[in-house]
Structure 1
């Protein structure tokens, strides 16, 4: 395209100065290119895996045993690691997550500090670890295929293995690790994800075994080894593979695990096996495999014999399991278009009656709705295990809190329990299959998952309270000096802000994208495309950002920048409204002798401020356009036709101010004199040339009596008092006193 440009030295200086200001300013509509990694042959500019995308693989054969008298787990594993990268690897890194339980590792004790009078003993235990306990791995051996020792270096929660011969691209390496560790009492930790829960009444334990074996760190094109230390909040980045796992436990235990059970005939009684086979076609309701009475009987006897349960899991990135003689077990089949899934629940009698009524139903609902918005659940089982005080996810299995007291549970507590189950089962999709790096970008699994949890609850539990934009307002208008952007590693966030920043805020952001900015149908197609493109792969934030734009044809850089890279909030105000009507009689007289200069749209309108609509419209004239305003164009607009189209119309010029920093669409509710209402959506691009304040002209057939921004709280506006016109009178101190007393 060619332009005619007149340049003078002063103008050059002005442009240069403006460019320098722009560099400092970094406008809200500036593209994200400089913040995102450059597209390449591994990850494309359209947000999908590139032609040469690669990822590593690790296959495991594991033998593990729980020693119940000593609460110890011992195990050995053979790992075959496949180097699919273009790099030669001289050493390997493994995660030793159990080492976080060693004394001296940071916990969340400072969450309850500082020390104060009358502090509960449990909080003092969190802060001081006054009651000492053992924790962490004892690595017994690391050997190659020929059983020769390999040199290792342990750095807290990471272990490096130096290889005798480097693993070249396309090669694999097989080695063995043997270990043992004390299973910790979950009640000794805040936010404990694994360990055992003790039940003094019957002197039994429920074992939640997770982070239990040395696991390969992820190695990818983005940052090489992901060997960031485990600090408890940031979770995991892991490689996919096949797992063959043999778990030896007391003979009267039930084991719930990632994977398909291979030896049901060996570990289940004839009656249990018959029920289990029947459950595989029980699509209408759960089938009880182990009853309450049977579980109670096992609690009393405590077998000293042992059984080995065998599981295999394909194309997963982790394995976890639960084991106890206390478990009641039910199963229901769930039919999806491409797969039949067994939804299961394992729970002690202390979970009755609510868990038998709601848990497997919630698993089924999660699997069905998540499949609808992403892809059919691909694994054979989806398991919910009842535990205390936590919700935690792993492939095919989740540990979920929520228990009745004396058989009773409030509606809110039950909703919380069901929501937890839906959420943790939903994590099978994000990040267990769409495998983002939780240790770096917690929002990519928690935010996307909570968004789909909300969709599930809205469709299957409409009476529940769902996460809405209004819910995030108290957090968004908080103290910005201690806030962190969403694009931040999880371990750097305050514990009391963790849920707001990584769960709720991204959920609200995606809800606004779907409901207000992109539109439901187009958003759903794009989100589904993202999920399918990155199944069993490792997406990064840039891949999601680019994918959602590529699949919708909506430039969202301004949105990602504001919601994910800053701590700005939404606070848009209606500053002023001017009401005009065209003075056609005056215009006809004046147009006999003169025409208007280009851009002179309201030559006769006054500029006095308005507090309401009581003074009526201001008259203004629209004059004929001078010929020179058309430049080289020979055609002319019909001046009278323009005036005729505006004759009798109500013209409103509204000034909006951006007080919070986040540029957003303008959702405007117009209330007319006849009582009718209309909601208008003005795209966020209205702010692109002035991010602080804008004027917008509206032409209305009817007279307006009220204007309200964001009438349904769809945009998380933190101050709705400045959203209306006519402005409400300031509240007196007496009125404020009455509200608070």
Structure 2
């Protein structure tokens, strides 16, 4: 007995050091992968005491041509150099140039032709017919003197007349115009939609003016070309924007409307004032007013003036088709106007859900990051399926022409609004470099979207966030994946890589690795530290560790720097009990096992076919061994047992009589991604116990480990990851004893006529009413 106890202890003590010989790098600290801390960005993940960032303030005038779908504008940029560097030029982004026929995006795009191709796809491939891109007419200094500039695809370098020293500012002007793309045929993050039924247009305007690029302590100038995937890196500043449109248009824009008394009727102004005090949506511009404007089509113009403070961009939308509703949301004691703009084609869905979804987003995101700091938050419906800008977002999904909609459309609308409005926080406020790292805005925001969706409605059908929903991607072919830490323009499977995988990783981190309390505190600290600043991946990684006290290098390495996946197998279970050496107990136990042993097929048949054995026929053939019972307890057995007990301490006697069960469970890491082990043990009496083992159990051997579980009750089955927390890609080896995993075969039948459930219900009700009336 003494030897057995010592042996069990030895297993736990020596398994690590001996296996360390096979250690690889999964638990190595992130060293070369992260930049060296400095006075700008500290080892804790916080901004350093010498952190700096540039500033760009804009005054813009723009006019919309509703006849030719184009805009003409002029802007004045005041650029402040807060860096310690002397600048001889500045870089400006010309993202509209992606629509130029010979743009790098067009030339490097790939496609395949099939025998049957949708008309929209043909229009997109033939987009060189669209005269897109900025037409820059002049670039001058404040006094109007021309400045030398060079356009390189989607970037423009403006050479300064004299070096711009630290803490100095330089003002310059740009005049420009560009045609507006038909978003339905040419795609893009902005554009117009034409409504042939009433002959009107709806415009969603983004990347519509030349914008300053970011200059920072990590990259210098961020002037990677815009190819379509990597979005935008922009400095903060103040904006004053004057937008001239047909007088019957309604304009939504980043910031606060400055001249409501000039562009709204007195009745609309009263409704707007009422909305600012209401906790439910109030209609400012009604559907009847919008419908009347669609018919009249005014020829004169009005100018809407918007002002926005400390934002990184400006977007706007304009149409005579807009219905407009708004409500007040109290965020941290501050009043915020949540608003929606949408055409009648979006009702009743938008009138019921859009502004409520905006308000819900502000409340739930503020709770987990920082209080929403801006005065308004807007959701606009138009051709763009989903895109975000400070205080304003463009969102898709509309009901059928008869006003009905499927659950997919309903939840798709709520989700896209939460996602795009949520982008106000990531990256509009916590201002990461989207041109380089898509996951820092899309992944973090998708994770926050998942949490907000779950607070909207119990059982909300979230598309991303749950570990089990990323399994198919995680186990897909390695040559179709890249690590999360991949530049935006080089990402494969964009939605899975930049949205789904990082969102799932954060959910796993919150629920399984860190726990909600530690995670939520650290995540909120990251948002607080980097609000209105430019964080990098290392700042996020370091802050999450610094604020929680949890070493997460193994997690970042596995989930973000590799394409490993979770596939942990429970390869073997061995059951041990303590040998008490009590002969009566041991012999009785062995006898019970013998009695329970199944008979072989031959033994079963022999019982029937052999009527009498020879010994049964001739009893004189029997001897001592025909009557000897090897499992009977003898006096010598009892004496040996008493001698054994006399040598034990009281503690050893207690263990001897405890009846403990020892289970040696072997685990194999088949997918490469080290993860915590969540093991559920089901006991013989029907009860269960779940044991959570940190991922550090793999630190000495990343591939094969064993763990001894000691239980008072016998275990009838073990299950690994019972709550599907780790995105394990193969559940068939998560059970012991093995459990057959069900598969399904599908029975096909003719599909219905394509109606959504609301339409079918209406049709059924109509038929029932008709039959009743007929009777």
Aligned residue number for residue 236 of structure 1: 232
- TM (norm. structure 1) is 0.87
Aligned residue number for residue 449 of structure 2: 453
1:323 aligns with 2:318: yes
Matches within 5 A, 1:358-397: 358-388=353-383, 390-397=385-392
Aligned residue number for residue 550 of structure 2: 554
More deviation, 565-574/118-127: 118-127
1:256 aligns with 2:267: no
Matches within 5 A, 1:587-598: none
Aligned residue number for residue 655 of structure 2: 645
CA–CA separation in structure 2 for the residues paired with 1:155 and 1:515: 47
Match of 1:476 among 454, 474, 477: 474
CA–CA separation in structure 2 for the residues paired with 1:736 and 1:377: 47
3-state secondary structure, aligned to 2:732 = helix
CA–CA separation in structure 2 for the residues paired with 1:348 and 1:356: 10
**How much does 1:463 deviate?**
3.3
CA–CA separation in structure 1 for the residues paired with 2:107 and 2:54: 37
Aligned residue number for residue 773 of structure 2: none
Aligned residue number for residue 605 of structure 1: none
Match of 2:176 among 166, 176, 179: 179
3-state secondary structure, aligned to 1:428 = coil
CA–CA separation in structure 2 for the residues paired with 1:726 and 1:445: 44
Matches within 5 A, 1:128-207: 128-129=126-127, 132-190=129-187, 192-207=188-203
Aligned residue number for residue 245 of structure 1: 241
3-state secondary structure, aligned to 1:584 = coil
Aligned residue number for residue 597 of structure 1: none
Change (3 A) 1:710 1:702: same
Aligned residue number for residue 695 of structure 1: 706
Quick check: 2:429–2:531 contact (8 Å CA) kept in 1? yes
- CA distances 1:302-351 after superposition (whole Å, capped 9, x unpaired): 11111111111001000000000000000000012231100000000000
**How much does 1:387 deviate?**
1.5
Aligned residue number for residue 436 of structure 1: 432
Match of 1:351 among 342, 346, 350: 346
**How much does 1:120 deviate?**
1.7
1:666 aligns with 2:669: no
Gaps of 5+ in 1: 1-17, 588-612, 615-637
Match of 1:424 among 396, 420, 433: 420
CA–CA separation in structure 1 for the residues paired with 2:110 and 2:412: 24
Quick check: 2:183–2:384 contact (8 Å CA) kept in 1? no
Matches within 5 A, 1:23-422: 27-105=25-103, 113-129=111-127, 132-190=129-187, 192-283=188-279, 285-388=280-383, 390-406=385-401, 407-422=403-418
- CA distances 1:124-172 after superposition (whole Å, capped 9, x unpaired): 2223437x11100000110001110000000000000011100001111
- CA distances 1:250-270 after superposition (whole Å, capped 9, x unpaired): 100000000011111011011
- CA distances 1:585-620 after superposition (whole Å, capped 9, x unpaired): 289xxxxxxxxxxxxxxxxxxxxxxxxx99xxxxxx
CA–CA separation in structure 2 for the residues paired with 1:77 and 1:649: 80
CA–CA separation in structure 1 for the residues paired with 2:726 and 2:199: 52
Gaps of 5+ in 2: 1-18, 584-596, 599-647, 749-775
**How much does 1:643 deviate?**
6.1
3-state secondary structure, aligned to 2:662 = strand
CA–CA separation in structure 1 for the residues paired with 2:543 and 2:414: 32
- TM (norm. structure 2) is 0.83
Quick check: 1:112–1:127 contact (8 Å CA) kept in 2? no
Structure with the larger helix share: 2
- CA distances 1:242-292 after superposition (whole Å, capped 9, x unpaired): 001111111000000000111110110111111111111011x11100111
Quick check: 1:350–1:404 contact (8 Å CA) kept in 2? yes
Aligned residue number for residue 704 of structure 1: 715
- Higher CA-based Rg: 2
Aligned residue number for residue 637 of structure 2: none
CA–CA separation in structure 2 for the residues paired with 1:49 and 1:110: 38
CA–CA separation in structure 1 for the residues paired with 2:381 and 2:360: 17
